Amino acid sequence: MRVYDHPEFEHHQQIVFGSDEASGLHAIIAIHDTRRGPALGGLRIYPYASEDDALTDVLRLSRGMTYKSALADLPLGGGKAVIIADPRRDKTPAMLRAMGRLVESLGGRYITAEDSGSGEEDMRLIRQETRHVSGLSRGDDSGDPSPFTAHGVFCALKSAVRHRFGRDGLEGLRVAIQGVGHVGAHLARELHEAGANLVLTDVDRDSLGMLVEELGAQSVAPEAIFEAEVDVFSPCAMGAVLTAQVADRLRAKVICGAANNQLATPDVAALLHDRGILYAPDYVANAGGVIEVEAQRHDRYDRDAVMRHVERITATMDEILTRARIEDRNPAEIADQLARERLAI
């Protein structure tokens, strides 16, 4: 396994491989950068085909967290953790407590939270071994970050629409949303409220059907979403959805959604730019979740203040898209550059 010359290594500060024989834990914690604060990032539990796949994923995700938190103006660095296991079959309380001890061994340099494959119940088990956990509701109105993520995407989408189409309101704007789970459903409701016309898809036909009825939206089969005649495409399902092939098929002129790591490969950003499609960088648009998770770490939780912080995504997106236009470069490149500038403090 290559580590220091791994294509995604990018000067990670620390990579910890943890194992626990009794519970069968095999985990990797990657700490990319702690210059702005402790490295916060979720714990992904996934049955990776190989250790190499797990390492690649954790390195990409932890660097993404550094950039996301820097551009969201949070006093946090970037990190991420993965457990190589099937969350439905292999996850046990003993494994999660062993993970908690691994997190604790880093003395607060890494703070864990929920991600795909891990939920609030798992965080409570980890919490038995370490206090370096966020994302636990505390009985007030904190807890589920998805409405905050959705609102941040809504702000980013409005900024992108203003830059691409020169219009402020969303009345009559056609938006296709791929995935109407936690974030996608909240986003759909906000867009509907603002007067947008929605085309929705999801592999889960039941939740899709209910939302389509509630919002009077159009629904299409999952594969047909890329060809929908819309102004905006909003990926809110899974990562790596923007391939070169998808870039060719899309009719939308703006892409703005919640999914992490939307670009299948970095060169797709240039393809989209050449086709006149404005891509709103994912980690800028979807930072509402980490803004809320960070707020939960503090004694006083003020929901309105968290929302105001989320709404600052508008100004950040405006700055990126203005620079992209002036320099005729793609917004993904500009966002990375801006994040690196903020880190050089």
Contact call for residue 38 and ligand NAD (CB under 6 A)? no
Q: With helix as H, strand as E and coil as C, how does 25-59 read?
A: EEEEEEEEECCCCCEECCEEEECCCCHHHHHHHHH
Strand-pair category, 25-33 with 77-84? antiparallel
Residue with smaller CB distance to ligand NAD, 188 or 237: 237
User: In whole angstroms, what is the distance from residue 211 CA to residue 298 CA?
Assistant: 35
Residue with smaller CB distance to ligand NAD, 130 or 201: 201
Binding-site member from 41, 179, 281, 331 for ligand NAD (CB under 6 A): 179
Contact 143, 295 (CB under 8 A): no
Binding-site member from 34, 118, 149, 296 for ligand NAD (CB under 6 A): 149
User: In whole angstroms, what is the distance from residue 33 CA to residue 242 CA?
Assistant: 27
Contact call for residue 201 and ligand NAD (CB under 6 A)? yes
Contact call for residue 64 and ligand NAD (CB under 6 A)? no
Of 80, 91, 158, 253, the active-site residue reads 80
Contact call for residue 184 and ligand NAD (CB under 6 A)? yes
CB of 232 to ligand NAD, least distance (A): 16
Q: Which amino acid is at 213?
A: E
The continuous run of DSSP H or E covering 192 comes out as: helix 182-193
Contact call for residue 62 and ligand NAD (CB under 6 A)? no
CA 73, chain centre distance (Å): 16
Query: Which CA distances in Å does 240 have to 34, 99, 126, 304?
Result: 27, 28, 29, 33
Q: What is the DSSP code (8-state) at residue 112?
A: B
Contact call for residue 42 and ligand NAD (CB under 6 A)? no
CB of 186 to ligand NAD, least distance (A): 8
Residue with smaller CB distance to ligand NAD, 18 or 42: 42
80 belongs to the catalytic site: yes
Contact call for residue 260 and ligand NAD (CB under 6 A)? yes
CB of 243 to ligand NAD, least distance (A): 13
CB of 202 to ligand NAD, least distance (A): 4
Task: Collapse the DSSP code of 114 into the 3-class scheme (helix H, G, I; strand E, B; otherwise coil) and give the result.
Answer: strand
Residue with smaller CB distance to ligand NAD, 237 or 278: 237
CB < 8 Å & 24+ apart, contacts of 89-92: 90/24, 90/47, 91/45, 91/117, 91/122, 92/23, 92/24
- String marking each residue 81-120 x if it binds ligand NAD according to CB under 6 A: ----------------------------------------
User: What are the residues binding ligand NAD (CB under 6 A)?
Assistant: 145-146, 149, 178-184, 201-204, 222, 236-239, 258-260, 286, 289
- Active-site residue list: 80
